[in-house]
Chain A
Amino acid sequence: MKELVVLSGKGGTGKTSVVASFAALAENIVLVDCDVDAADLHLVLSPRIEKENEFWSGEVAYIDGEECNECGLCQKLCRFDAIKDFKVDPIACEGCGFCAQICPVGAVDMCQNMAGHWFVSYTKYGTLVHARLGIAQENSGKLVSVVRQQAKLIAEKENAEHILSDGPPGIGCPVISSLSGADVALVVTEPTLSGIHDLERVLGVCHHFGIPSAVCINKYDLNEENSRRIQDYCSSHGIEVAGRIPFDEVVIKALVQRLPVVEYSPGCSVAREIEKVWQFVAR
């Protein structure tokens, strides 16, 4: 079994569109949406939720106003400025529990925090594990670990050939959580200066964690000079460019119909190139 994670650094380069098409092309896969902040893969794959689970993560401090003697020690020591006027701001609280440890009158309780939900769903392409982090919650990295773990268990049970994971943008906590221990990363980029800058950073993260990576240039013909720069950068770093997808409104049209491009318009130039990329990363 091989776990493939699709990343991008910069958001909006086409990760989810590429993953949705891979889902339609692959056989015997388990899908996982690791973008738990703003999950979108389910919008294209029309899942039927079969199992819904609560995600309990971390704790939040609560000050009992009756017991509190307003000594102010917790306010002084909290590094996250989460306590004002002897009340806890649950959004700012990072759940470290320092305040509860040092309160001289024991007025602080740590309460379990329900930080989101995760789902196991049926799709016609294979099982999808996805999640929804609660609004303004922390611990997205932990929730990513949970969905990946579940996907692995299911893939083992189903004897799946691939785990295909739609990653989050950026290079921080949830990205590292999506990437660590995966077999290969495909980075979808675009030929813009921002795309190139962010590509280099996310490839740096892959390198840092020792994950082999390949690159796919989306909308390559929007700026062919920049696309050549990306290819030069990749070849000088020993990274394969697995495909170059042209800029075409068919991608948005497929999306509006909530279909993978390879299903919406099989045989179009975008679909053919995505197939090529899939052949490359699946082998």
Chain B
Amino acid sequence: MILSIASGKGGTGKTLLATNLALALSSKARVQLLDCDVEEPNDNLFLRLPVSYSQFVYIPIPKVDETKCNYCGKCSEVCVYNAIAVLPQKVLVFPELCHGCGACSYLCPEVAIVEEGKPVGVVEKGSLGNLELVQGKLNVGEVMAPPIIRAVKKYIDAKSEIIIDVSPGTSCPVVEAVEGSDFCLLVTEPTPFGLNDLSLAVEVTKEIGVPCGVVINRAGMAEGETERYCREHDVPILLKIPLDREIAVLYSKGIPLVQGMPQWREAFLGLFENIAARVGRGKMPEGSGEGKDRQ
């Protein structure tokens, strides 16, 4: 099963859920945890696995051979991102605007453009026993997260249970990470911010056709509104984690909940079994369950 963990709002507990689910489950099965929050990957602060493999991620950037170029301007005309500009005697490339679509090099009438890889981040792997972590890291100062997320998802091992830690938000990096999941767990907190962003995240999962369920973190104060929302939108609440200073302090030290408070292990295992049963019983969404990833 591919289970992604998203939230809309940041700081609601995605990393807490992802790392503890992975740790609890790895006592019973092979687990692969993909940290797709490539702007701020944090899972390994809790798992502390030694990184045994590291690979740069490149995006293809045009390189113009000015001995062949006749400054016709075709490349600049076809580039919708304004990443290439042709002056009378010079071609300027703006790598930070380039999406790597390849149109300029393919369409250059003089075959004067080749593509060269520009490193934008890295994919790292580490494992211990049944648990493997694959994490992506966007280079500081780089703009585009999706190519790194695609690179991380290429390592999906279909024989493992897959848990994907997603970045906050509702735009392209979230879609890239959640797409292809069998189920998406949305972590929220019972505040007006948490609820507003939960409703946006539910819309995202609907848009891409992945069934979802909710975990309410820091529960115990005012989750009535969140519960009402979930009831009205037919979204199941699968777990509540109370607002508890001890949990917050463990988190602050980078100690996984299942280690600091082992009584939580059963709750995470139960959560996973509940989801597995829902996915098995429910209708599978189109295109899911194949571990698909995009080029």
Which chain A residues have a beta carbon within 8 Å of chain B's beta carbons? 8-13, 16, 37-38, 40, 43-44, 58-59, 77, 79-81, 91-92, 94-98, 101-102, 133, 135-138, 140-141, 168-176, 190-195, 197-198, 201, 204-205, 208-209, 222-223, 226, 249, 252, 255-256, 258
Also in contact, A101 and B9, with CB within 8 A (given A136-B204, A197-B45)? no
A81, A140, A171, A222: which contacts B171 (Cβ < 8 A)? A140
B45 touching A170 by the CB < 8 A rule?
no
| Cβ contacts under 8 Å, B200 to chain A | 37-38, 135
A98 touching B106 by the CB < 8 A rule?
yes
Known contacts A96-B103, A133-B171, A172-B142; 8 additional CB pairs below 8 A are A37-B170, A40-B197, A94-B101, A138-B172, A169-B40, A175-B39, A193-B252, A201-B140
Distance, CA A169 to CA B40, complexed state (A): 9
A40, A102, A172, A208: which contacts B144 (Cβ < 8 A)? A172
A172 touching B145 by the CB < 8 A rule?
yes
A-B contact pairs, 21 of them (CB 8 A): A10-B11, A10-B42, A11-B12, A37-B174, A40-B193, A79-B100, A98-B102, A101-B107, A133-B171, A135-B200, A136-B208, A137-B172, A169-B39, A170-B168, A171-B140, A172-B145, A193-B252, A222-B252, A249-B221, A256-B221, A256-B222
| Least distance between A223 CB and chain B CB atoms (Å) | 4
| Least distance between B243 CB and chain A CB atoms (Å) | 8
A133, A140, A141, A252: which contacts B191 (Cβ < 8 A)? A252
| Least distance between B295 CB and chain A CB atoms (Å) | 5
| Cβ contacts under 8 Å, B55 to chain A | none
Chain B minimum-CB-distance residue to A43: B192
Number of B positions contacting A (CB below 8 A): 61
| Least distance between B209 CB and chain A CB atoms (Å) | 10
Also in contact, A12 and B11, with CB within 8 A (given A96-B101, A197-B42)? yes
B145 touching A169 by the CB < 8 A rule?
no
Which chain B residues have a beta carbon within 8 Å of chain A's beta carbons? 7-12, 15, 39-40, 42, 45-46, 78, 80-81, 99-103, 106-107, 138, 140-145, 167-175, 179, 189, 191-193, 196-197, 200, 203-204, 207-208, 221-222, 245, 248-249, 251-254, 294-295
Distance, CA A253 to CA B104, complexed state (A): 55
| Cβ contacts under 8 Å, B203 to chain A | 135
Distance, CA A78 to CA B78, complexed state (A): 14
B249 touching A136 by the CB < 8 A rule?
no
| Least distance between B178 CB and chain A CB atoms (Å) | 9
Distance, CA A141 to CA B203, complexed state (A): 21
A136 touching B175 by the CB < 8 A rule?
yes
| Cβ contacts under 8 Å, B197 to chain A | 38, 40
| Least distance between A148 CB and chain B CB atoms (Å) | 16
Distance, CA A13 to CA B222, complexed state (A): 20
B167 touching A138 by the CB < 8 A rule?
no
Distance, CA A194 to CA B171, complexed state (A): 22
